[in-house]
Amino acid sequence: MLTVRQLFVVCIGFAFTALTICAIYVNSIGMHSRYQMYTRKELTEHSSYATANGHRPTEKLRVAEAFVASNLSSIKSNATEHVLVRPLVTEKVQEQGNKNVTVETSSSNRTSVSHDANNGSSGRTFARNPVPPVLVDGVHSMNGTPDPLYTHHGYISVLDHKTKLNLHCMQCAVVSSSGQLLHSRVGYLIDEADCIFRMNDAPVPSYEEDVGSRTTVRVVGHAATPNLRNRRKYLLQESSSRYVIGWGPAKPMQTNGRGYAYKYLKDLAKQFKEVDFFYLTQEQMAKADQIFEEETGKPRMGSGTHLSTGWFTMILARAACDEIHVYGMVNDEYCQNLANKNVPYHYYNQFGVKECSYYRAHEKGKKGFHRFMTEKSIFARWALEQPPIYFHVPDWNPK
């Protein structure tokens, strides 16, 4: 039979053990919650670190938290390590509800992260990177310096002819100039993207509700450079473009003072020093022709085709972006529906030529015409490859 003293010692021992267990548990919860808060902070600053499917911030947070929960033991063992939740573009995963998800290690620095989702979520493959990229005006670089993996050698500076474009964006919005965007009210979704691509002289002021308010890259064809100059205040100053990329055949892009398009770009580059102006080398132009021939089986010049600014924009976006959302681009079968005949070709010219009429005329033209519908069918095929491409306004899925 235990004495009073022995009972007292036993009680003290039980109490000490219980307190120790509680302290360990509280510390574990604290570590987990602190890391989740850190992840939330990172996602607030750079919303694309954990892109799930679409533009839903709550979905991004769920995926990030699943990553943290699945890797809590490694996080505890190295509490100073910065874990970057970032999508690797290895496969597209459609959103599904009530999906059981597992965690698999695919390599030493990649972890496939998923979780049980009673409210629906998407599984994605993520990379763990101890040194996250720095976000500078929507463009990512490593340690604040340009990422050599995203130096695009076919795009060189208008001013010095040496500096090459360095651009890497996690999530991109490619905004067409189509009348499809009128009254769409998707401007706030477009503005969520890290980088926003626009084309030619498509304006932003007065259309923010439908097309967004920011511009990262404006791709301009040689024929549109006079309009870029004439409307420079609205296209370069008020829409805060960071890059202008000019493209064109050799003659208008001559750098000896005879190329009218190059001259316009150079004059604007001197005036708007906060904007970086680049132009496509003739080697890059030839590469665009080669891609067209590989996709269609027909030579660009031999088929009487003039490539569109959309073509050059999509080629650049595929090289620079981890994920692409295209706004205002129809599929190649859209114009077969007579109900679609009244949509204007440009959102900023409601009373101009109609989109489908313009597309049909160019598709049937013999020489010197754009092949809009052919290009769109190619974009649909690209969407099934990498990086993933999603189409909005109208929403459609590639076949």
Residue 162: pLDDT above 90? yes
Chain centroid, CA 361 distance in Å: 32
Residue 277 has pLDDT above 60, yes or no: yes
Residue 258 has pLDDT above 90, yes or no: yes
Sign of CA dihedral 388, 392, 394, 395: positive
Two tokens, residue 259: 């190329």
Tokens representing 245 are 């990329």
Q: Among the listed ranges 24-28, 299-303, 335-339, 388-392, which one has the minimum average pLDDT value?
A: 24-28
* Contact (Cβ atoms closer than 8 angstroms) between residue 90 and residue 129: no
Tokens coding 320: 């620079």
Mind listing the pLDDT tens digit for each residue in 311-364? 999 999 999 999 999 999 999 888 887 666 789 989 999 989 998 888 888 777
Domains assigned to the chain:
4-131 (no CATH), 136-392 (3.90.1480)
Q: How far apart are CA 168 and CA 158, in angstroms?
A: 20
Extended strands (E) in the chain: 86-87, 104-107, 110-113, 124-127, 133-136, 139-142, 151-157, 164-166, 169-175, 195-199, 217-221, 243-247, 276-280, 321-327, 389-392
The token duo for 168 is 């890497």
Tens digit of pLDDT for each residue in 95-123? 333 333 332 322 323 222 222 333 333 33
Candidates 176, 191, 197; CA nearest to 47 is 191
Give the separation between CA 343 and CA 373, rounded to whole angstroms: 16
DSSP 206-218: T-HHHH-S--SEE
338: exposed, middle or buried (Cβ count in 10 Å: 0-12, 13-18, 19+): exposed
Q: Is the CB of residue 74 less than 8 Å from the CB of residue 114? A: no
* Beta-ladder partners of 363: none
Quote the pTM value.
Answer: 0.66
Contact 133, 148 (CB under 8 A): no
For the stretch 203-240, pLDDT in tens is 999 999 999 999 999 999 999 999 999 999 878 876 56
C-alpha distances out from residue 292 to 110, 196, 221, 249, Å: 35, 24, 17, 16
Structure tokens at 309: 């600014």
Q: How far apart are CA 381 and CA 399, in angstroms?
A: 8
